[in-house]
Amino acid sequence: MKGAIGVLVLLASAVNAQTSSSPFLRSPLKSNLQLRHRFREPTTTKWIDPNSIPTLLNIRGGGEASPPTAEISGGTATIPNEVFNLVKAIVGVGVLSLPAGIAAFGNAPSAVLPAVILITTIGILSGFGFAIIGKVCAYTGARSYREAWDLSVGPSTGWLPGWSTTMKTSLACLSFSMVLADTFSSLLGTDKRTEVLLGVTLLILLPLCWMKNLASLAPFSLLGVIGMAYTGLAMAVKYLDGSYKLPLPLEDGTMPAASGLLSTVASNLQPSFGTNGWQSVFTPKSLILVCMLSTAYMAHFNAPKFYLELENNTLPRFNAVVAISFTISILLIASIASIGFLTFGSNCGGLVLNNYASGDMWMAVSRVAVAVALVFSYPLAFQGCRDGIIDLLGVPEEKRGNDGFVNGVTIALLAVVTLVAAILKDVSFVLAFGGATLGNALTFVYPAIMYSNVVKKQKREGETIGVLVAQVSAVLGTIMGAIGAKMALEK
């Protein structure tokens, strides 16, 4: 753990040279923001040199003047508050699909070793991308992902991150629907997945998505954290007690029939191991896991929110939040993905909970926790998707206030998501393809473009290493995304 923290802090330090020392998808913390200044003229995109404006400097107790990059007053969130909410935003139900990402390229236990290395590497790069978005906000005064793009790159291409964020939220809703269909089918002990999905959508999701005020749902977001913590514990218990371990072959070489909980699991979901171990990571199929990880660590469109809500939001304090949060997330994600794969091998389902017997009480509680957490998280993600589409389509404000119009859009959009969720069965494909395309763009490519542009426009010195790392990350993200999308479609 200390090693991972050290790497993240090292990266953050490289990016923050010459600076002052002074997104589940939404954080419930309240903001108390007062922007004291912004580093551009109000009606132009001409950048002002902060060092040429002495009135912008904050003199503390007659000491040295601190660089104005930290002059955006923060909110009231402490570092522990921020860490908790950021880990909550990162470690979601998508982690339960990662064992299938490992199974995409390996089927021997040793495949876990390179998988953990990939999980750690992508986590560090994702943390770096998150950190430089906060830095762009510090340099420009931006208060959202879209505004950070507008102020650093230009408003003429603002539709690009806008559509990307909206479509990524749409895929989140799709994966939620797919997981709910599988989870409720297992809880009800039926294989009529489509009928269950329709029932859940009409009786539960639609009324919740029609709600105008979602503030009352915020406390339920804690269930997601509790549910994932319990699920990780339950998976570890079931791995260690051997409940799903295949019986040893008899003396004559024949395999005895499975017994206990394993006897109730379908043969295609029972443990299966082969000889493709650590070396299999060098095949292109390993990029399926890489692309899934781009989705697993996705919280970057909320990076401005986390930066602005941090109390005394200097860049070193924000980088500490990022380093601690992503280190904890790396450990949790690596643990859950590894245990799932070591239990079921190459037969890991797109949602590893599907591999466990319906009569397994440990996992039944986990399914209930995951279902409840998703049900109350769904409206938050759906509202962001719906409002994003309405905004990008340029719907007039007066029409947006019409309940009939909004309800109609809700029904139409929810119908499309439900239809696609009924057709698609493998949530790991949705996560892999979405990560290869939108995830890589939002996590690696767009932050690098914003950061490089703002450094160039403001003529900031001492940022060479940070810009270089960002550009390399963007190139790798683009290449991995292209190959990963192809592999996901083939799979």
Mean pLDDT of 193-206: 95
Rounded CA-CA distance 431/232 in Å is: 20
pLDDT at res. 55: 28
pLDDT at res. 212: 78
Which segment of 150-159, 167-176, 221-230 scores lowest on mean pLDDT?
221-230
Cβ atoms of 72 and 36 closer than 8 Å: yes
Which segment of 67-76, 176-185, 413-422 scores lowest on mean pLDDT?
67-76
Rounded CA-CA distance 72/216 in Å is: 30
The structural domains of the chain, with segments of one domain joined by +, span 2-25+32-40+49-247+260-490
The encoded tokens of residue 43 equal 């009606």
pLDDT at res. 139: 94
The encoded tokens of residue 323 equal 């380093």
Rounded CA-CA distance 438/21 in Å is: 34
Mean pLDDT of 276-283: 93
pLDDT at res. 157: 92
- pTM (predicted TM-score): 0.78
The model's pLDDT over 290-338, given as tens digits with 9 standing for 90+, comes to 888 988 898 898 899 999 999 999 999 999 999 999 999 999 999 999 9
Mean pLDDT of 376-400: 84
Mean pLDDT of 351-374: 90
Q: Does residue 214 have a pLDDT over 80?
A: no
Instruction: Calculate the alpha carbon distances from 16 to 19, 131, 227, 475 in Å.
Output: 6, 10, 36, 21
The model's pLDDT over 125-163, given as tens digits with 9 standing for 90+, comes to 999 999 999 999 999 999 989 899 999 999 999 889 989
pLDDT at res. 451: 96
Rounded CA-CA distance 137/408 in Å is: 36
pLDDT at res. 219: 67
Q: How many CB atoms lie within 10 A of CB 181?
A: 26
Mean pLDDT of 63-69: 38
Q: Say which CATH topology domain 2-25+32-40+49-247+260-490 has.
A: Amino acid/polyamine transporter I (1.20.1740)
**What is the phi/psi pair of residue 345, to 5°?**
60, -135
Average pLDDT taken over every residue of the chain: 81
Which segment of 64-78, 114-128, 225-239, 349-363 scores lowest on mean pLDDT?
64-78
pLDDT at res. 396: 84
